[in-house]
Amino acid sequence: MKLCKDELLLFGGMYQITALIISLFTSEIAYVINGFLYIMFWLAVLAMVFNWVPKLVFQMNDSFPRMSVFVASIGWIPYFTVLYALVSTGVDFLVSGSNSVTVFLNNYMSVYDVYMAAIVISLLYAAYKVFYKKEDLLMVCEPIGR
């Protein structure tokens, strides 16, 4: 069975929304829960690569197909943040000393603007897909044994 990008994006969006809600609380328990959730998210992504997709993803898509499109539209955020952290770590390794802070701050502002614009564009495209295009919103890939 092949793995669809929609499954990964929907799962990433579900994680992103859950992590955002938990991060609104500033207690130590919320930090621990958020860290545990982060580890579980990446373990689930690893399992999805090996074709074990949590039923929660398909239940979400079957029960709420329109909302799934919006959730999947922001599903790229967790993957982007990891890639950005790796790239910024590489830049920090190449540029050391006080110059690394300057390089980071100069790059952070432009990346932040692009990041916010990409979120808005993603949500606008999801609205277009749901309300105007009105194509079949259910995922094409099916889980094993379904």
49, containing H or E segment: helix 28-49
Domain that holds residue 56: 5-133
Q: What are 92-119's pLDDT values in tens digits?
A: 777 666 566 666 666 666 777 788 888 8
Q: For 141, phi and psi rounded to 5 degrees?
A: -75, 145
What letter would DSSP give residue 75? T
Tally of domains within the chain:
1
Residues of the chain with pLDDT under 50: 1, 143-146
The answer to whether residue 87 is domain-embedded is yes
Q: Does 42 reside within a domain? A: yes
Residue at 138 is within a domain: no
Judge whether 144 lies within some domain: no
Q: Is residue 141 part of a domain?
A: no
Q: Does any domain span residue 143?
A: no
Tokens of 132: 């105007």
Which 3 state secondary structure label does DSSP give 17?
helix
Say if 86 falls within a structural domain: yes
pTM: predicted TM-score of the whole model, two decimal places: 0.74
DSSP string computed for 88-128? HHHHHHHS-THHHHHHHHHHHHHHHHHHHHHHHHHHHHHHI
Q: What is the DSSP letter of 3?
A: P
Q: Could you tell me if residue 81 is inside a domain?
A: yes
Other CB atoms within 10 Å distance of the CB of residue 139: 20
Q: Would you state the pLDDT for residue 1?
A: 45
* Among 66, 58, 73, CA closest to 142: 58
Q: Taking a C-beta distance cutoff of 8 angstroms, is the pair 48, 133 a contact?
A: no
